[in-house]
Structure 1
Amino acid sequence: MSTNIHIRQKPIGAVLFQYDLYPEKIETVGKVKKVHTANGIYALKETEMGKDESEWLIHVIKRLERIGFHYVVPILPSKYGDYVLRYGDLAYYLMPWYEDHTKFRHPVHPEEVMVEELAKLHGLTERTQEYSEKILEESYETLKKRWTYRRLEMERYADQIEGNVYLSPFQLTFLTHFQRSLHMVEQAERHLSEWINGAKEKKSFRSVLCHGKPSRTHTCFDQYGTAYFLNFEKAVLDTPSRDLALMFRHFFQSRPWDEQEGQHWLHLYERHFALFDEERHLFMSYLAFPESLYQSVDAYTREDNKITELQAVTQLEKKVLTMNRINRFMNSVFKKESEEE
């Protein structure tokens, strides 16, 4: 047992040597090692990124530095100038340790700060793509096919359990709200059609640098309430609607909210980076599709399912509540737009 620990720890010592760092103490915090040294505290990330992914991450971080986006935890070069070090199948990179504050010197709402910083990131990296109807059609068809497949999976599951003499509490809850979920699927498809028709009519679309996993766990706040994004391993050039939907989904699951708060977050984002009409439809289509609710079914029906019936029902009910709130949020946004017109 001690031999395995020695082998496991050996690469970390070899990695830190590349930075001339000699640890006094190493703690595991989430997916990073908090390294205490005489020269300060650092965060060492171990990841299974491939060579191409590592090079892309370095490109992203350098580009953000070049364009003056300072709301990011930097990656430090080794004494030989390498930003990512590879040992076997694993890759490592080093960052200064940013203490994540939850109490601030002034009143701060983390969601507001995060959505504004995301908008600034998108604004600084905006790029109009060369118009290609083929690429648009492929994106549309890929998403539509995935949604159709998921809908059919859930319809088969609903048909299967409807024939049961006894329904578990989870199954009963799912069936009770299944028709509502199909309504949300239709809404998602409608907004997706609005998106592609708008993009075809405009004959243009744009991409931004998407963080890829924008969430509170990938954001550090200082004591003044300034946010710094970290973990750009999933960064990609894509529509801003994708990144914004990912962040909103995270907000929806992290605490109670209502449609007015959703409108407020969207307004803050668009104050810095306004979505085009078709992008707003795409954003809503991502939010509307009830993938989160369907994932509860996946988890419940897996053979390695280890949660209790009560836990499964509680999680499902939370997702139903979120689905209904998204429906109200979506309707309120487009009602407001029609009133303004």
Structure 2
Amino acid sequence: MQTLDSLKPVLHPYGVEPFFVEDNGKVCKVYSNKGTLAVKHISPQTGVDFVRNVQTLFQRGYNRIVPIYPTMDGRYAVWHEGELYYVMPWLNNQEKEDRFEKHQKLFRELARLHTISSQDVKINKEERETHYEQLTTRWEKEQQFLDEYVEECEKTIYMSPFQYHFCMFYKDVSQALKFSRKKLEEWYESTKDLEKVRTVIIHGKLSTEHFLYDDRGLGYFNNFENSKIASPFHDLLPFLSRTLKTYPKYYDECVEWLETYFQHFTVRNEERLLFMCYLAYPSSVIAVVEKYFHTPKRKRNELKSLKKLQRHYWLLKNTEYVVMRLDEIERKKKEAEEEEA
């Protein structure tokens, strides 16, 4: 619980005199002689990368991050009682668009963020080969597990509800797995001779909740504590997994958000292949089935397990629709390019 007195030592290096503090959990709203501010504390472990990544983006001219105020001696964070604190303006975050429009802006800004921070780094060919072999081996084992378990279930005279539904879902899960393995093969073939891979500064916790608006309606990223150097799809995949985990529906808006991103961040062929490979892979369904299989019968909660399987199957089907639409769009683009050539 932060109070006026506890924040005074934090705000002193900024030349800020606080008048009143509202503690909102992770962030404090501070009324002061320099306006209304947001004060947030982070752990020292994530603080170093956070400060470095934000400084890099500012230096490269990216200004769509909620501004982080420097202290009077130029620091972007203050160390106090074992934690790092940083100070920002308090944004009212008055949304002027609907959900679809807000997501469009979010993905457009994400593409800009990734473009400005992108850089090619050398990659060890042996490391890529090892990664490919390990992934291929693991996925082959998972396919084998699914094949053997569905046979075992079908031999059972009285299947449990979970087993019955798994048998119904098996074909879709298996097809998704085979699609991912096909894309992985294509990725490996297309990257055999490449010596570099592209990395960007990723936000690390992409969400519309972390995309705030100022009084002019401009959107800014905040909550950059999980930012790091990684593949751009480390931002997209977790976001899509959360968004698509709902009742079955045709997620055309999701396809449009991704196309907005691809229009503003030019994705290389090998990057798209790897993205599609990971997006399509039915890891969560397989994890649910494996957990059920390895849990002793007396400890299984049949209803809970079945509900979990159903939810992750819906995620699989929603993802499948997005993957197929993206694949179709890419195929039509290539056909159009070939016709022009």
SS at match of 1:128: strand
Is structure 2 residue 318 aligned with structure 1 residue 322?
yes
Equivalent of 1:69 in 47, 62, 74: 62
In 2, the alpha carbon distance for the partners of 1:251 and 1:67 equals 31
Would the alpha carbon gap of residues 328 and 9 (structure 1) be closer, same or farther in structure 2, given more than 3 Å must change?
Answer: farther
CA contact (8 A) 2:280 2:320 kept: no
In 1, the alpha carbon distance for the partners of 2:9 and 2:291 equals 40
Give, in angstroms, the shift of residue 68 of structure 1. Answer: 1.0
Q: Match of 1:48, as an amino acid? A: S
Summarize deviations over 1:159-207 as a string: whole Å, max 9, x none: 8877594624x55444422331222122112212212221224554322
CA contact (8 A) 1:24 1:37 kept: yes
Would the alpha carbon gap of residues 229 and 164 (structure 1) be closer, same or farther in structure 2, given more than 3 Å must change?
Answer: farther
SS at match of 2:67: coil
Would the alpha carbon gap of residues 267 and 18 (structure 1) be closer, same or farther in structure 2, given more than 3 Å must change?
Answer: same
CA RMSD in angstroms, aligned pairs only: 4.0
In 1, the alpha carbon distance for the partners of 2:201 and 2:20 equals 38
Q: TM-score, normalised by structure 1?
A: 0.77
Moved more, 153-162 or 276-285: 153-162
- Residue in structure 2 matched with residue 290 of structure 1 by the alignment: 282
Is structure 2 residue 190 aligned with structure 1 residue 198?
yes
Equivalent of 2:41 in 40, 46, 51: 46
In 2, the alpha carbon distance for the partners of 1:95 and 1:155 equals 54
- Residue in structure 1 matched with residue 265 of structure 2 by the alignment: 273
Summarize deviations over 1:49-92 as a string: whole Å, max 9, x none: 41xx3222111111111111111112223445432334565433
Is structure 2 residue 96 aligned with structure 1 residue 103?
yes
Q: Match of 1:318, as an amino acid? A: W
SS at match of 2:18: coil
CA contact (8 A) 1:102 1:221 kept: yes
Give, in angstroms, the shift of residue 273 of structure 1. Answer: 1.9
Is structure 2 residue 221 aligned with structure 1 residue 229?
yes
- Residue in structure 2 matched with residue 140 of structure 1 by the alignment: 132
In 2, the alpha carbon distance for the partners of 1:11 and 1:155 equals 60
Equivalent of 1:84 in 77, 82, 86: 77
Moved more, 292-301 or 138-147: 292-301
Moved more, 10-19 or 188-197: 10-19
Q: Match of 2:50, as an amino acid? A: L
In 1, the alpha carbon distance for the partners of 2:172 and 2:323 equals 10
Equivalent runs, 1:25-40 vs 2, <5 Å: 25-28=21-24, 32-38=26-32, 39-40=34-35
Larger Rg: 2
Q: TM-score, normalised by structure 2?
A: 0.77
Q: Match of 2:36, as an amino acid? A: I
SS at match of 2:94: coil
Summarize deviations over 1:88-114 as a string: whole Å, max 9, x none: 65433332222333334x997122111
Give, in angstroms, the shift of residue 275 of structure 1. Answer: 0.9
- Residue in structure 2 matched with residue 57 of structure 1 by the alignment: 50
CA contact (8 A) 2:27 2:39 kept: yes
Gaps of 5+ in 2: none
In 1, the alpha carbon distance for the partners of 2:23 and 2:233 equals 37
Gaps of 5+ in 1: none
In 2, the alpha carbon distance for the partners of 1:34 and 1:338 equals 51
Q: Match of 2:48, as an amino acid? A: E
